[in-house]
Structure 1
Amino acid sequence: MTETSNKSRLAIIFFTVFLYLVGFGVVIPILPILSRNFGATAVQTGLLLSVYSLMQFLFAPFWGKLSDRYGRRPILLLCLLGEVFSYILFAQARSLEWLFVARILAGFFGASISTASAYISDITPKHERSKGMALIGVAFGLGFVVGPALGGGLAVWGASINSEPHFDTSFAAYWVAGLCLANFLFGIKFLTESLSETSESAAKKKRFSIMWHYLNAKTIGPLMAVFMLSSLAMSSMEATLILFMGEKFHWDVKQVSFGFAYIGVIMIFTQGFLVRRLLPKWGERKVLRLGVLLLALGLGGIAISGNMAAMGITMTLLALGNGLANPANLGSISLLTSSQEQGATMGVTQSMASLGRIVGPLIGGLLYQHISITSPFWASGILAFTGFIVIMMIYKSIPEHARQA
């Protein structure tokens, strides 16, 4: 496979993941509105967000395992088509129960993001692996910047067209379904198979036995734990930052949204540019170590920020840290895995991140409500620093194939 061909395939998988994340991001601003219209409590609205991550936790290894057995392309296309139906169901939902069904289906099919990571593993040489993984992060960042803005805009547009109840949110959801359908058709035409050799044993292992196997693997298990700790720390912060900024600096939702957009832009810059410059000079070890340390300092720094200048510094640190750590971590895990098990490994890794996104908001909310408004950020900083300690314990065994002599 030529270098030009691999670059075009990377561009295709990047575009596929980007459109998937845009679709996910569109739902974020309209989901609380729709659930409130159906009489949902704050807890039920939170559960609507959590159930998506729960399905990803349960089924990311499942899709990864199937992609090892049958190939990446058919699994990605199947899941893209499944997302079309999940968003159509979301648009037609007229009760809270059907809204939950739609989000469960979206999480089930959305768990295929691990297969996209495995696709990148298949088509990148070892010295380019972590830089390839950074593309997933760039797609995530762009999706979360573009998606919520697009979702809010579509809902406003829908309301201006028709004032009937739920038309605005249904209008936006149909657009997401159309976006997913375009993504599916794009994949049929341009997405080629990346897996040269399927794994006969992949389909024989059960989901939780696969998770247990990799979590107990030398170096891979600790790296997955670090990935989960980072996700846990970030989601705890995200769940309480809007409350903290409102109470301490009198920010509203609009201002906090711009704050999250700033974090997204920094992460895009870090993973799209900075990581690709640092990895050849430093290798995965140093980039991962620096990233997790900056993440810990940024998260903990929120708790002691007394003015907006200090908050700007801490937001920059945590965005830089997250942007450096994730691709180096994913790349290292991929490098330590055989080519026949990339899908299963990436599935378990993304499953660990989903577990963090399930538990993190709950921990953050409890700490904020019952301890203090700064306690979620101290806790997030400690979680990230625990990940840093784990990295130092396994430091010598982390690969650094990206480093060029």
Structure 2
Amino acid sequence: MDQDIGRSKRFGTTHRIARIFLVWALVVNATGHSFILIVMPTLGRLLGFGDVQTGLLIGVSALLLALSGPFWGGFSDRKGRRPVLLLALMTAAGFLLLLGGIIHNRAVFDHSGILFAVLLCARLVQVGFGGGLMPAAQAWLADHSCPDQRAGAMALMGMAFGLGSILGGVIAWQMSATALFPALTLIAVLILSAMLGVFLTLHDDERKTGPYRAKPLFSSEGLANGFCSLLPFLAVTVCGLSVYGLLYQVTPLRLQDVFGFSAQQAMQQSGRMMMLSLAGMVISQGVGVRFLRCHPMTLLQTGALLAALAMMGATMAPTLMFLTFSMILLGVSLGLLVPGNLALLSLAVGPDAQARGAGINAIAQGIGMATGSVAGAALYQISQIAPYMLNVVLLLVILGISLFLRRKYVFAV
């Protein structure tokens, strides 16, 4: 008992400043990611790229980001979280500064093909070395949280991502049209400030700075069993990210075709709607998860049920206000569902494979986003509400998985 109290006290005091800087690092990294996604289509045309080239720049880098997660997760489990975090932040800031320099001096490149090759290589280097940021951050938070605090720790990651995405949207809205180079420089400086804070305050558990004594997550004698044990959580990740990726794809189209907005108005309204949804997600993670301290399984089931109801409302939404309310409720619901699933996955993989488990989950996140976008575009050609109906089915699948997990596993938290 005294040991548990001492452990909780140590997590609550010694690592508090490091946790603040780590969350700040996640916020500003998400800011840069969001900003790039928003401005890249227009920026690509400004730099002389075709739309297909710009799509390739975004798609290939997203794929590499997901695929590099397991490698950096394993590296982090062997060598520690700190070097992976610092490398990822350094390359993120470096890419933004390089992109700003290219924009500022684009006249030097007399051929758009050369400029595209330079930018593609730089982007691939950045995401290749930055793929360990989320697995290492998730693992550090798991290392320094008791099991009954795990869902709250995972909620910090989602809250940081939501805040960063909102901040990136605000910077793009205010600065991208007239001050693109200063905007990129500003975000890079913010990332460097976070990197300095992580460097000065964050340290690995001394027991986890060398090779781990535990067996690998997928040992040669237990490969099938190890992977099968993660399948339910990975399936939840794929379904959940598919829901969000689908909405990003079809919401502007529905606003234009059903509600009669122009293309520009549809983009603005869609951006506002997704921003409000993210705000709902941030609030539910920052308040609901961290202060209510529900069991992760309760968070997963409640989030899945509320999200399914929200998507049913979005499917039948007769007005813009009703659709907006449904999207806000969806954000609140995902704010419960996602940290609940991450906490359960973290508890399932055990203390010595946190980063590897998070890295494998990153692949599921990439699959979900890609699948949602493709499925949304294809189904929208059949029916304007078919993508939303698919989302309802996916969320009911998540609810079914949660019921299966409750019966099959008992997580002592």
TM norm structure 2:
0.86
Q: Which residue of 1 aligns with 2:4?
A: none
> Whole-Å Cα distance in 2 between the matches of residues 214 and 329 of structure 1?
19
Q: Is the 8 A contact 1:300 1:382 kept in 2?
A: no
Q: Which residue of 1 aligns with 2:247?
A: 237
Q: Which residue of 2 aligns with 1:366?
A: 378
Write out aligned runs for 1:3-402 (5 A): 3-93=12-102, 95-112=115-132, 113-158=134-179, 168=180, 170-194=181-205, 196-198=207-209, 200=211, 216-218=227-229, 220-249=230-259, 250=261, 251-280=265-294, 283-368=295-380, 370-399=381-410, 401-402=412-413
Q: Is the 8 A contact 1:118 1:342 kept in 2?
A: yes
In 2 relative to 1, CA 146–195 (structure 1 residues): closer, same or farther, beyond 3 Å? farther
In 2 relative to 1, CA 350–375 (structure 1 residues): closer, same or farther, beyond 3 Å? same
Q: Which residue of 1 aligns with 2:112?
A: none
Letter of the aligned partner of 1:287 in structure 2? Answer: L
Aligned-pair CA distance for 1:203:
12
SS at match of 1:135: helix
Q: Which residue of 2 aligns with 1:164?
A: none
Q: Is the 8 A contact 1:292 1:384 kept in 2?
A: yes
Q: Is the 8 A contact 1:18 1:139 kept in 2?
A: yes
Q: Is the 8 A contact 2:308 2:392 kept in 1?
A: yes
> Whole-Å Cα distance in 2 between the matches of residues 253 and 289 of structure 1?
32
SS at match of 2:258: helix
> Whole-Å Cα distance in 2 between the matches of residues 212 and 43 of structure 1?
39
> Whole-Å Cα distance in 2 between the matches of residues 398 and 7 of structure 1?
32
Aligned-pair CA distance for 1:41:
4.1
Letter of the aligned partner of 1:341 in structure 2? Answer: A
In 2 relative to 1, CA 401–135 (structure 1 residues): closer, same or farther, beyond 3 Å? farther
Aligned-pair CA distance for 1:127:
0.6
> Whole-Å Cα distance in 2 between the matches of residues 348 and 192 of structure 1?
24
> Whole-Å Cα distance in 1 between the matches of residues 82 and 350 of structure 2?
19
In 2 relative to 1, CA 179–295 (structure 1 residues): closer, same or farther, beyond 3 Å? same
Q: Is the 8 A contact 2:217 2:356 kept in 1?
A: no
> Whole-Å Cα distance in 1 between the matches of residues 222 and 323 of structure 2?
38
> Whole-Å Cα distance in 1 between the matches of residues 245 and 391 of structure 2?
9
SS at match of 2:14: helix
Q: Aligned-pair RMSD on alpha carbons? A: 2.8
In 2 relative to 1, CA 206–330 (structure 1 residues): closer, same or farther, beyond 3 Å? closer
> Whole-Å Cα distance in 1 between the matches of residues 69 and 376 of structure 2?
25
After superposing on structure 2, the runs of 4+ consecutive aligned residues of structure 1 that deviate more than 6 Å are: 201-212
Aligned-pair CA distance for 1:314:
1.5
Q: Is the 8 A contact 2:249 2:377 kept in 1?
A: yes
SS at match of 1:192: coil
In 2 relative to 1, CA 209–182 (structure 1 residues): closer, same or farther, beyond 3 Å? farther
Q: Is the 8 A contact 1:285 1:398 kept in 2?
A: no
Aligned-pair CA distance for 1:136:
0.3
> Whole-Å Cα distance in 1 between the matches of residues 384 and 221 of structure 2?
39
Aligned-pair CA distance for 1:205:
7.0
Q: Which moved more, 1:122-131 or 1:247-256?
A: 247-256
1:14-67: CA deviations, max 9, x gaps? 112112111212222221111122344444433333223211221111111100
In 2 relative to 1, CA 209–92 (structure 1 residues): closer, same or farther, beyond 3 Å? farther
In 2 relative to 1, CA 208–363 (structure 1 residues): closer, same or farther, beyond 3 Å? farther
Q: Which moved more, 1:122-131 or 1:383-392?
A: 383-392
In 2 relative to 1, CA 258–217 (structure 1 residues): closer, same or farther, beyond 3 Å? same
Q: Is the 8 A contact 1:65 1:203 kept in 2?
A: no
Q: Is the 8 A contact 1:53 1:357 kept in 2?
A: no
Letter of the aligned partner of 1:290 in structure 2? Answer: T
> Whole-Å Cα distance in 1 between the matches of residues 221 and 234 of structure 2?
13
Letter of the aligned partner of 1:226 in structure 2? Answer: V
Aligned-pair CA distance for 1:201:
6.6
1:287-346: CA deviations, max 9, x gaps? 211112222332343222111232133212211221000111101111112211111011
TM norm structure 1:
0.87
SS at match of 1:306: coil
> Whole-Å Cα distance in 1 between the matches of residues 125 and 275 of structure 2?
27
Letter of the aligned partner of 1:271 in structure 2? Answer: Q
Instruction: Quote the sequence identity (%).
Output: 26
Structure 2 residues without counterparts, runs of 5 or longer = 1-6, 107-114
Structure 1 residues without counterparts, runs of 5 or longer = 159-167
Aligned-pair CA distance for 1:206:
11
In 2 relative to 1, CA 204–180 (structure 1 residues): closer, same or farther, beyond 3 Å? farther
Q: Is the 8 A contact 1:120 1:133 kept in 2?
A: yes
In 2 relative to 1, CA 210–289 (structure 1 residues): closer, same or farther, beyond 3 Å? farther
